[in-house]
Amino acid sequence: MIRTITFEREYGSGAGDIARRLSERLGWKLWDSALTHAVAREMDCSSRTVEEREERKDPLTYRLFRAFMRGSFEGSLNAPRLNVVDADCIRQASQRLVLSAAEEGNAVIVGRGSAYHLYGRRDALHIFIYATFDEKVRRLVRAGKREKEAIELVETVDSDRSEYIKKYFDLEWPARHYFHLMINSTMGEESVVETILHSKSILEKRAE
| Percent of residues, the chain, with pLDDT higher than 90 | 65
Residue 80 has pLDDT above 80, yes or no: no
What local confidence, expressed as pLDDT, does residue 203 receive? 92
Contacts for 119 with CB less than 8 Å, ≥ 6 apart: 126, 178
Q: How far is CA 32 from the centre of its chain?
A: 8
Most distant CA pair in the chain, distance: 60
Q: Mean pLDDT in the chain? A: 85
Q: How many residues belong to the chain?
A: 208
Question: How many CA atoms lie within 13 Å of 39's alpha carbon, on the beta-carbon side?
Answer: 31
Residue 67 has pLDDT above 70, yes or no: no
What local confidence, expressed as pLDDT, does residue 56 receive? 66
- Average pLDDT estimate for 87-93: 82
- Average pLDDT estimate for 88-106: 91
The CATH class of 4-206 is alpha beta
Query: Cα dist. 63→42, 69, 71, 105, 200 in Å?
Result: 22, 10, 12, 36, 41
Return the higher-pLDDT residue of 90 and 145.
Answer: 145
- Average pLDDT estimate for 29-50: 85
Q: What's the whole-model pTM score?
A: 0.85
Q: Compute the distance between CA of residue 127 and CA of residue 21 in angstroms, rounded to an integer.
A: 14
CA–CA–CA angle 71, 36, 22 (5° rounding): 145
Residue 161 has pLDDT above 80, yes or no: yes
Query: Cα dist. 181→6, 138, 160, 193 in Å?
Result: 11, 24, 23, 12
What local confidence, expressed as pLDDT, does residue 19 receive? 97
Q: Compute the distance between CA of residue 11 and CA of residue 175 in angstroms, rounded to an integer.
A: 16
pLDDT tens figures, 5-26: 999 999 999 999 999 999 999 9
What local confidence, expressed as pLDDT, does residue 4 receive? 98
Contacts for 101 with CB less than 8 Å, ≥ 6 apart: 4, 29, 31, 35, 107, 109
Contacts for 207 with CB less than 8 Å, ≥ 6 apart: 1, 122
- Average pLDDT estimate for 120-149: 96
What local confidence, expressed as pLDDT, does residue 64 receive? 42
Q: Compute the distance between CA of residue 7 and CA of residue 26 in angstroms, rounded to an integer.
A: 15
Question: How many CA atoms lie within 13 Å of 53's alpha carbon, on the beta-carbon side?
Answer: 25
Residue 72 has pLDDT above 50, yes or no: no
**In 10 A of CB 148, how many CB atoms?**
9
**Residue 91: pLDDT band by 50, 70, 90 thresholds?**
confident
